[in-house]
Structure 1
Amino acid sequence: MRVTTLLGLSACAVAEASCSRNIIYYDQWHTKDLPPKDITHSVTHVMMTFANSSLFTTEPAGKYEPFQPLKQVRALFDHDVKVCMTIGGWGDNAGFDEALKTDKSRQTFARGVASNLDRLGFDCVDVDLEYPGGNGADYKQVVNSKKTYEIKAFPKLLKEIKKFIGSKELSIAVPGLERDMIAYIPSETPLIEKSVDFVNVMTYDLMNRRDHYTTHHVSVKGATRAIDKYLSLGFPAHKLVLGIPFYAKYFTTKQGYKCTNPIGCPTELLENPKDGSDTGKSGFMTFEAANFVSAPTNLTATPDATCGVGTFFECATGSCCAASGWCGDTAAHCGTGCQSAYGKCDGIDITASFHEALEKGKTDKVNGGQWYWDRPNRIFWSWNTPELITEKINLLAKTRGIKSVMAWALAQDSHDWSHLKAMQQGFDRVNA
């Protein structure tokens, strides 16, 4: 039975623009083991990922085909939700780089976005450019100095998109690390803010493979720091959305060092300094059910290079199944985090280390983060607990007026839904 959401009464101010939003990203790699409808009763927006940015750079635009019909997505909920088309994602810069170049290219892109939005029946569009101005996945191939034009062009692109989509909502996903906020500067932020209805702040991945010392990838203090930066740039609190990850991250620490504190432990080289590629010494683990059970016994050869948790596919002999779920033979595929049940593996058993971390993890009460150091394997872990999610939502609502939340991603907490439940309960509480 479908019902009208109560959010119109509990979470919205008089003006539509001031509505609190409860957002879930829904990714094409996790479409099974979805949450029961009673847990997601407060969700307002579902972000379907990802439309490739290059689709919209031509005239006429390419046709985006979502991984699941929108009718089926809406049926996952017992109330009306807005389903949004998300464009981009990590590593998808090429189309944006082209779109940002001229007035004509920006209009072409915006027109293509709007035509696909209308054709498919999406309610909104989310622009996930990581990141305007540089520091993206291609920052070694296309240096930041070659992307300075994007700083002034990005607000113009958003303005064009908003013009073409009209009353439908436009959002952006923005970095949580200040070093990546290259395009979010005082002169341009007011122009960005005028065009967007809300801003999804990725208050996670606050440690990544470009770092050389440990810190929390997600924490109360880290989230507060990111939110404060965007507030200082002029974004109103009602447009900012707190990001919550349903995964833990791990990093290999240097040999010969003891990691007795979550902040400041030196790491191995996590990224190739020449080309920016992964060295295979860091990664992530989701809280999905498949990471808490043994691998299937009826594995078959992969037909498309996918493998690992959530599939029934194994890699060819001699090929490794990376933590990312792809077969290959590079250090990134075969090193720490590789999935030994699905292919060759030169690294440690990261699943066992993950479970040990969850069992023995420690709470950094000063910074508001959960962590663990697997000493024999030199693996540093960082993640959110349900309790820390609750603390973060309450604190930012009370002290900063942030009452909207979003999570990556819908099916990645399927082990027990404890993180999703904490997020939903926290949202309901601060919007009561």
Structure 2
Amino acid sequence: MEFWAFISLFTFDLLAPCKTSSSFRRFIVYLDQQYPYTPPNREHTTYITHVITAAASPALFATDPGGQYKPFMSVREVRSRFFPRLEVCMSIGGPGDPQGFSKGAATNESRELFARNIAATVERLGYDCVDINWKYPDIDTFPLLLAQIKNEIGDRELSIAVPGRERDMLAYTPENVKEIDEIVDFVNVMAYDFVDHRNSATGHHTSMKESRDCIQNYIRLGITPIKMNLGVAFHAKWFVTAPGQECQIKVGVGYFSIRFAVCRIAPLVNRDGTDTGMSGTMTFDAATFGPIPPLIMSPDETCGTGTRFKCPGTSCCSQHGVCGKQPSHCGVGCQPGFGICNGQTAKQSFMKALANKHYDWRYGAKWYWDSNGGIFWTWDTAFNMRRKLKRIVIPEGLGGMVISSIGQDSHDWHRLARLQNKARMYF
């Protein structure tokens, strides 16, 4: 039964027409400072319409006079790495930087100041568009802030990044959505990270089912479909499972013999709010798969990927790039080669996951549970991303797709190349 359900799912894809009339018009990538890599082969970027550089701190725009934003890469350099005709957008905010949004949105005067500072910055730096990434916006003032920004930037496009999880959509009431939809030019739906530090059980951080569900939620709320871009992620997530858990079920033989089973995960946050080191992310960038370059001893306890530094003596390099000797430094997330690590690391487990991955056909997602150390992996593949384009973006009448982030695929650019080859069929 399960085998034939799985086969029929793929048969539908094979029989679907390879080219059809569609609303597809945007193929967007985020380019961030942590992964500032771009493909050397321009064939991989031919159909990209927008590059969103991430990210300016909103606090810069909430003061009088406003702060001076210095992007990690100029608009001119971005264009030189892609194509001159594309739109280059300035992203403001992000999951780790909400400071300044609430202050800027609070009153008529603060909104005017915030918007004027943004307009002056995009004019000074030559950006074509603005992307607002306020993860948990204030319900009452969010539409007002967006309206003021759009008024100040004029013909430049304004976009917002919105959460995929329904529990995070608090600011997106039907009343607010009606106003927001009239203001913004497009909406980037972050249909990933469905599992994070607030979860107590394993699950897929992105899947066909959850991606479709969140898009349909926004359509029901009132977002115009053609304004939406479905987000896909170029990163995997891992979680240490609680002791004594069995996170897979054997149901037969062969490729379809292992079924995903929900199980409890270890505490991800300490009582004081600090990270336990029991979860993290892994990207498909060159550093994940390539050799470690020659290193020198860290002068300031920073270490790891993106630096030239290793930790002294018996110290470990944590997944966050800090030297130390605590479990959060030396445990699963420890970066091997940059210091001492105790036991199997996430990087070692990730290689095992890629070689032995399973597919949950009920949700449409790749996963793996490493019973050695109890590490659960969840990620998206190029094949699944292409299916999302065909099975969600096109049928729902969406305007495009958005990748977070392009540099996270720098190992071989496989995901970007495969997804672009599919996207070009619909332009």
With structure 1 as the length reference, what TM-score do the two structures score? 0.88
Change (3 A) 1:19 1:419: closer
Note if 1:262 corresponds to 2:260: yes
Corresponding residue number in structure 2 for 1:278: 275
Change (3 A) 1:116 1:348: same
- Larger mean Cα displacement after TM superposition, 286-295 or 216-225: 286-295
Q: Per chain length, whose mean CA-contact separation is higher, i.e. which structure has more relative contact order (CA < 8 Å, sep 6+)? A: 2
Amino acid at match of 2:65: P
Which aligned pairs between 1:299-378 and structure 2 lie closer than 5 A?
299-302=295-298, 306-317=302-313, 319-328=315-324, 331-346=327-342, 348-378=344-374
Q: Is the 8 A contact 1:301 1:316 kept in 2?
A: yes
Q: Is the 8 A contact 1:28 1:49 kept in 2?
A: yes
Equivalenced residue count is: 399
Give 2:383's match in structure 1, choosing from 361, 384, 387: 387
Amino acid at match of 2:351: H
Note if 1:293 corresponds to 2:282: no
RMSD across aligned positions (CA): 2.1
Q: Is the 8 A contact 1:370 1:382 kept in 2?
A: yes
Corresponding residue number in structure 2 for 1:95: 100
State the distance in 1 between where 2:315 and 2:93 align: 29
Q: Is the 8 A contact 1:35 1:417 kept in 2?
A: no
Amino acid at match of 1:364: D
Note if 1:113 corresponds to 2:110: no
**Superposed CA offset, 1:380-417 (max 9, x none):** 00011111111111001342112401111121111221
**Superposed CA offset, 1:152-195 (max 9, x none):** 10010000000000000111111111111110111211111111
State the distance in 2 between where 1:31 and 1:166 align: 29
SS at match of 1:228: helix
State the distance in 2 between where 1:305 and 1:47 align: 32
Q: Is the 8 A contact 1:253 1:268 kept in 2?
A: yes
Corresponding residue number in structure 2 for 1:191: 179
Shift of 1:269: 0.8
Shift of 1:355: 0.5
Shift of 1:330: 5.3
- Larger mean Cα displacement after TM superposition, 88-97 or 302-311: 302-311
Q: Is the 8 A contact 1:320 1:342 kept in 2?
A: yes
Gaps of 5+ in 1: 1-9, 133-149
Q: Is the 8 A contact 2:301 2:322 kept in 1?
A: yes
Q: Is the 8 A contact 2:161 2:190 kept in 1?
A: yes
Give 1:414's match in structure 2, choosing from 394, 410, 413: 410
SS at match of 1:388: helix
State the distance in 2 between where 1:92 and 1:299 align: 31
State the distance in 1 between where 2:277 and 2:178 align: 40
Corresponding residue number in structure 1 for 2:55: 50
Q: Is the 8 A contact 2:39 2:45 kept in 1?
A: no
Corresponding residue number in structure 1 for 2:251: none
Amino acid at match of 1:70: V
Change (3 A) 1:153 1:314: same
State the distance in 2 between where 1:97 and 1:198 align: 22
State the distance in 1 between where 2:188 and 2:21 align: 18
Shift of 1:368: 0.6
Note if 1:201 corresponds to 2:189: yes
SS at match of 1:60: coil
Corresponding residue number in structure 2 for 1:170: 158
Q: Is the 8 A contact 1:323 1:337 kept in 2?
A: yes
Shift of 1:108: 1.0
State the distance in 2 between where 1:193 and 1:328 align: 47
Gaps of 5+ in 2: 1-18, 249-258
Change (3 A) 1:171 1:356: same
- The alignment-based identity, stated in percent, is 43
Which aligned pairs between 1:213-252 and structure 2 lie closer than 5 A?
213-252=201-240
With structure 2 as the length reference, what TM-score do the two structures score? 0.89
Amino acid at match of 1:409: S
Amino acid at match of 2:277: G
Note if 1:77 corresponds to 2:82: yes
State the distance in 2 between where 1:402 and 1:378 align: 39
- Larger mean Cα displacement after TM superposition, 350-359 or 396-405: 396-405
Amino acid at match of 1:193: D
Change (3 A) 1:270 1:365: same
State the distance in 1 between where 2:245 and 2:336 align: 27
